[in-house]
Structure 1
């Protein structure tokens, strides 16, 4: 992926040594002459210089880079210098574990959004370039349902609309639902 095409793409930074999540946000700026992306300083807890792996969720593909996150804050942004990178193979099959809580706050029905008085709790199992796998109470959804999901990502919120495309690992109390992102 050409660096100048990364503007506003979703990006996930992990510590290169231990794999710990550093940030999950969007790219807010790019310096193509230095091969640097900029992310909001608010989404990084520990602002220090460190080696990171960078996953960029492009429009058509998922890309992985090795880079260095500079801890210095300039104009409320942190710079990440990108190094060697590659397009990930079989994007549809690559899933990244993200254990976080969230809620289904609305059901979408025929272009109408029905806000739930009591949101449905969910646990996120993993996330990919175009979807998420959630676990919640059995029988909550059917294939084809459209939902609005609100996830808590280390104190930051991610709100997106999804379509339920798969049900799996159903038990008496809980069931997993594969969700594909849809346009807002």
Structure 2
């Protein structure tokens, strides 16, 4: 009788250990939302970032902006592998849990106030070689609409804003 209890206890422990190991594979879906004026200087649009996936090699950050009218106006998927690649040399990202922590930190950092640029372009700023569309840059300067910046890697930052003229989100600056 004691032997069967020990066998049962052993099986329960083995099952529990397997479950704990599998829990590390649970899908990660971390989501952050911010409300900011973007397509309008008064109405608030919804900025959303979601970290999707189970392992760093198949994870991605999905960035979506929905206007105050309820229309999705921007969608960008950033592959975690690409983001991690640019940081691997400088950061200690050898282990999987370090990579996951880094990606979680990226999500938490994504909507820090410093990324919301009010206005996107000031009167004193001038376009340079990192300005892909000079006409849009000038439109943005005149409209005084807000901008947003985010990283695609260690050395690449993208600045986006709403073009009232074209009714879409456009990149107005891309650089280091």
Q: TM-score w.r.t. structure 1 length?
A: 0.22
Q: Which has the higher helix share?
A: 2
Q: TM-score w.r.t. structure 2 length?
A: 0.23
Asked which structure has the greater CA Rg, the reply is: 2
Q: Which has the higher strand share?
A: 1
